[in-house]
Structure formats: structure tokens, C-alpha cells
A and B are shown apart, each in its own frame.
Chain A
Amino acid sequence: DAGVIQSPRHEVTEMGQEVTLRCKPISGHDYLFWYRQTMMRGLELLIYFNNNVPIDDSGMPEDRFSAKMPNASFSTLKIQPSEPRDSAVYFCASSLISGAYEQYFGPGTRLTVT
């Protein structure tokens, strides 16, 4: 298995632009998680899905952020409009079972908003 796949690996964009991050979870995993990592705040859970349905989005910072999972093998995290404070590494992770089991992380997307 190729593991969790994320694209792009790096994204540089100007403030105000729309940014779309993509994730392909491990086949057969029912749960998908989006995290954001910064030096100041560490690793923060943004949202997670179970069987393509969003379960908890309380970590999404504001309405500029949205996430979708149209099918079991694909999810997107969109920021519109982007701001410099959104600069971070965004990770996608998947797991067979929520919470009490191992999550497998992708390599991350490093986002820089200028």
C-alpha cells in the first residue's frame, strides 16, 4: 500500500487566493482526519470524517476553511480566501477505527501564504 497520499507537497500562494489541498487515504480505512501543524500551536485536529461524512469540524478555524470527502478515496481541504496566518503544514491521516486506534499520516502539504 502506498500509504496516505497528499498533494501538492508544497504550495506558495498570495493572500486572498483560493487554496485546495488533496488527500487520498489508505484503502479500506473508514476514518480520515485533517490536521494543521505550526510551531506555535503544534498539531491541531481540524476536522474528521467517518465513511465520507464529517463528524466533528469544531477544529476548523473559521468559515474560510471547508473540507469535503466526495468518496472513500478522496478528500479536499479548501481555504478561501487564504491569509498569511494560514501558513502551516497540513496533514491528512486515516485510520481503520476512530480514536482508539493508530492513525497513519501522509507526508503533509507545506502551505506558505505571502
Chain B
Amino acid sequence: GESVGLHLPTLSVQEGDNSIINCAYSNSASDYFIWYKQESGKGPQFIIDIRSNMDKRQGQRVTVLLNKTVKHLSLQIAATQPGDSAVYFCAVYHTHNQAGTALIFGKGTTLSVSS
């Protein structure tokens, strides 16, 4: 089945720096990927997504890069702000058991931004 892993459980940056959070997945047939942000006491919130027919997608201050060759996904946050402090999850779309489909979530990277 699919497995999703993050390279670092924690990341600490200074305000204004760029942050990069990495994620690896195992199933080369995966074709949809999402990054979620979870603040303390809240549910995960959608940040940005990308499909396998793209290798880069940009949002407001965020960029997602997809490298299908090595099955690697990254989230880049420009000019990181204290409000970006949260846990970030990557999620990979996976069809399994022919009975259903699911988003498989990684464990999460805790981003801490100091001012």
C-alpha cells in the first residue's frame, strides 16, 4: 500500500526566512497531492494541491514542487511569518483495495517561527 513520510518532524526558522518542508511517498501511481496546515486545537486546513501532470504550483507565498522520478514532494513558504507556525501535513491520493479511495496522510512537520 501507500506510505507517506516526512523528512523532518520539526523545523525552526527565523521570521522572514524561507521554509521548505519535504515529503516522500511510495506509490508511483499516486496522482494527487495536498498540503494541509494544522494549528493548535483546530482541524487540518487546505493550503495547496498539485496533480501529477504538473511539477510546480504556486499560491500566495507558498509553492509546491513535485518530483515524480524520486517520489518527492515539497512545500516552500516564502518570507515565513509567526502565523505560519503550525503542523504541516502532506497527503497523497491513493486507490486501495478496489473498494475505495483515500487520502493517506504523512505524520506532519512542526514548523516553529521565531521573531
Q: Which residues of chain A have a CB within 8 Å of any CB of chain B?
A: 4, 42-43, 45, 48, 55-56, 58, 91, 93, 98-108
Contact = CB atoms under 8 A, between A and B. Distances in A.
Interface string B42-54: 1111100101000
Contacts of B97: 56, 58
Given A43-B105, A56-B100, 20 more contacts: A42-B108, A43-B89, A45-B104, A48-B100, A48-B102, A58-B99, A91-B44, A98-B101, A99-B32, A99-B101, A100-B101, A101-B32, A102-B34, A102-B49, A104-B46, A105-B43, A105-B44, A107-B42, A107-B43, A108-B42
Contacts, number: 58
Interface in B31-85: 31-32, 34, 36, 41-46, 49, 51
14 contacts: A4-B43, A42-B108, A43-B108, A48-B100, A56-B100, A56-B101, A56-B102, A58-B99, A99-B101, A99-B102, A103-B103, A104-B46, A105-B36, A105-B43
Contacts of B32: 99-101
Contacts of B42: 107-108
Interface of B: 31-32, 34, 36, 41-46, 49, 51, 89, 93-95, 97, 99-108
